[in-house]
Amino acid sequence: MDEDFLPDTTDTLENIPEIACNEIETLAYQHLIDRLEEIENLPTTDAQMKRDQRSQFVTVWNEILQIPPSDAPSCHQKCASLLSRLFKQNQIHIIRANTKIAREMCFACISQLTHSNISRFLKLKAEQQNLPDNRILKKHILYLLRIAAQTIALTPFSKVDDRQFIENHFELYTVLIEHIEQSMPEHCETKVEQGYILGDIALRALSLLWNTTDRTILVALLLRNNFVKKLLGWFARASKLADTNNRPLISIALNIARHDDGADELNKYGAIDIIKEYMKIKPAKPDNRSLATSMTLALLSTPEELKRDTKGMNNVLTRLLQLVIDCSKNNRFRHEGFHVSEPLVILVKMFVVDERTLEYVLCHAETKPPSDPHSTIRLFITLLFKFTNALDVTNQIRQYTLISLLNIIWSISFQPNYASELTQDEQLMSIIEKFADDDKGKEVLEDYKPRSMEGVKEAAHGILHNLNHDVKTDMILEKKKAYRDTRISDSTTK
């Protein structure tokens, strides 16, 4: 999901009473207050200056958070007031343009959230967190969680050291998951039927979990400590939660289901039946959660379950194709929070599960604008052209998209009726031949790739074999058949 669509809360702590500086504080921490004032007055006439200002602020902010609020109340207050101006939610695009700064901010915020003072605060009950003496620290924590959630969505985690950083700070996630657990309705003093509000910190914690699980390569870390079991427990209470409070749950489940081990863990605890109950909750206003729910169920279902529900599967296929069309029109390949890779991955699975799904998508899906076999195949080919250089960069989501598109074109190449659509495109065939001879794809396989997909080189060879353009891969067709019969079944075994 896109960081622009994270649920958020309105800060209720803007009107913190003024606190007079005492002489000891002035002597000890005046240099930090002076530095904050310098940062506040920095020129911000362009986006780069704004990014630099935020980066400098985070450095000073980290230093201030090492000091207990009771020792430097005015210093904390000055910092908190500057937070509101520098990190307005609608200014995330300023940070998005520079992944290096986003990474630095993300790691700085996560590091601060694991500080002993903050860890102790997060373990307090809600009424204790809202005491006057804790109000400034709570505001800092809310912003730390917001910025961490936004910037983790911009950090690729292509380096082992970056993934190790999250593992080294996993205790934060343990604390946040427990905080959410303790914020659920059964822990409140009065009986709740519906409309229950989890609280600001719990909502921000859900936002961080939402975007952390969106980094598929990090999902395995979050399968510890019964997180999935607790998540499904939250689903069971979703009908009692306010609409905005239950919304993140399905997107977190979808992100986890995209990882093979995550799907196995969800199925171990009977996620399909629980999520089907969640589907019965009517949103307060139309949004994309029904699509997210359908996508999650498609990833969790066995081939037999998908085949039995032909009507439901066709509806999902239509919505997936529509989402691909809509994403393709956006320069970031996103629509309503989804990246184009998300529907593509599910289409790969469904095309392998049942060849009829490919025929339905090409010939019968009712989209806007209307589509037909030619336009749909052109859509996939055109997208492939836009992601051809994905192996030259460390952007995993682009590589993930490329692998998905090659697997989809591989499925199309099995259909003689559509082979000419592929072979007549000289640019496409040249690109496929290049991938078949290139070993760069092996580097991608060292990171996460679903069991339902083959790698770049394997898919390229399969396409060429099916189109009679490759005489070196006589075993590809048999391998594809075995893959069709066993891989998906293995990946969805409950």
Q: Are 396 and 157 in contact (CB under 8 A)?
A: yes
Q: Name the burial class of residue 73, with classes exposed (0-12), middle (13-18) and buried (19+) by CB atoms within 10 angstroms of its CB.
A: buried
Q: Cα dist. 222→183, 212, 366, 484 in Å?
A: 20, 9, 38, 30
Q: Are 1 and 251 in contact (CB under 8 A)?
A: yes
260 plus 364 within the same structural domain: no
125 plus 222 within the same structural domain: no
pLDDT in tens, 361-374: 999 999 999 999 99
Instruction: Point out the least confidently predicted range of 1-10, 46-55, 62-71, 397-406.
Output: 1-10
**Residue 54 covered by a domain:** yes
pLDDT range class, residue 11, cuts 50, 70, 90: very low
Share above pLDDT 70 across residues of the chain, in percent, rounded to a whole number: 86
Contacts of 243 (CB under 8 A, 6+ apart): 283, 284, 285
pLDDT in tens, 278-318: 999 999 888 899 999 999 999 999 988 988 888 889 999 99
Give the integer Cα–Cα distance in Å for 152 and 208: 8
pLDDT in tens, 68-123: 888 888 888 888 888 877 776 446 667 777 888 889 999 999 999 998 889 889 98
Instruction: Point out the least confidently predicted range of 8-12, 274-278, 374-378.
Output: 8-12
Task: Look up residue 470 and give its two tokens.
Answer: 């490759």
Q: Cα dist. 455→387, 411, 466 in Å?
A: 15, 14, 17
Q: Report which of 462, 487, 483, 342 is spatially closest to residue 401, judged by C-alpha positions.
A: 342
**Residue 423 covered by a domain:** yes
Q: What does pTM read for this prediction?
A: 0.88
Q: Are 270 and 313 in contact (CB under 8 A)?
A: no
Number of structural domains, the chain?
3
C-alpha 184: how far from chain center: 23
167 plus 56 within the same structural domain: no
Instruction: Point out the least confidently predicted range of 1-15, 38-52, 139-153, 331-345.
Output: 1-15
149 plus 174 within the same structural domain: no
- Its domain, for residue 142, covers 1-155
151 plus 173 within the same structural domain: no
Give the integer Cα–Cα distance in Å for 464 and 476: 10
**Residue 322 covered by a domain:** no
pLDDT in tens, 217-232: 999 999 988 999 999 9
Of the candidates 102, 124, 155, which is a domain's last residue?
Answer: 155
Of 432 and 74, which is predicted with more confidence? 432
Of the candidates 155, 170, 202, which is a domain's last residue?
Answer: 155
CATH code of residue 270: 1.25.10
Q: Are 316 and 298 in contact (CB under 8 A)?
A: yes
Mean pLDDT of 460-464: 96
Q: φ and ψ at 241, to 5 degrees? A: -85, 150
**Residue 336 covered by a domain:** no
Residue 338 DSSP SS3: strand
Of the candidates 155, 177, 203, which is a domain's last residue?
Answer: 155
**Residue 330 covered by a domain:** no
Mean pLDDT of 339-358: 93
166 plus 141 within the same structural domain: no
296 plus 356 within the same structural domain: no
Mean pLDDT of 63-68: 88
Task: Look up residue 272 and give its two tokens.
Answer: 């399909």
170 plus 292 within the same structural domain: yes
171 plus 90 within the same structural domain: no
Give the integer Cα–Cα distance in Å for 430 and 4: 37
1 plus 147 within the same structural domain: yes
Instruction: Point out the least confidently predicted range of 179-188, 357-366, 402-411, 473-482.
Output: 473-482
Q: Report which of 372, 355, 374, 361 is spatially closest to residue 424, judged by C-alpha positions.
A: 374
**Residue 343 covered by a domain:** no
Determine the Cα angle at 116 with ends 169 and 101, to 5°. 50
**Residue 149 covered by a domain:** yes
- Say what the pLDDT of residue 82 is: 86
pLDDT in tens, 360-410: 999 999 999 999 999 999 999 999 999 999 888 778 889 999 999 999 999
Contacts of 11 (CB under 8 A, 6+ apart): 84, 139, 142, 200
Q: Cα dist. 2→91, 153, 345, 389, 398 in Å?
A: 14, 7, 17, 22, 14
Q: Which residue type sits at 111? A: S
23 plus 143 within the same structural domain: yes
239 plus 211 within the same structural domain: yes
Instruction: Assess whether pLDDT exceeds 60 at residue 472.
Output: no
Q: Cα dist. 170→43, 111, 249, 384 in Å?
A: 37, 11, 20, 36
- Say what the pLDDT of residue 349 is: 92
- Say what the pLDDT of residue 189 is: 61
Residue 160 DSSP SS3: helix
**Residue 315 covered by a domain:** no
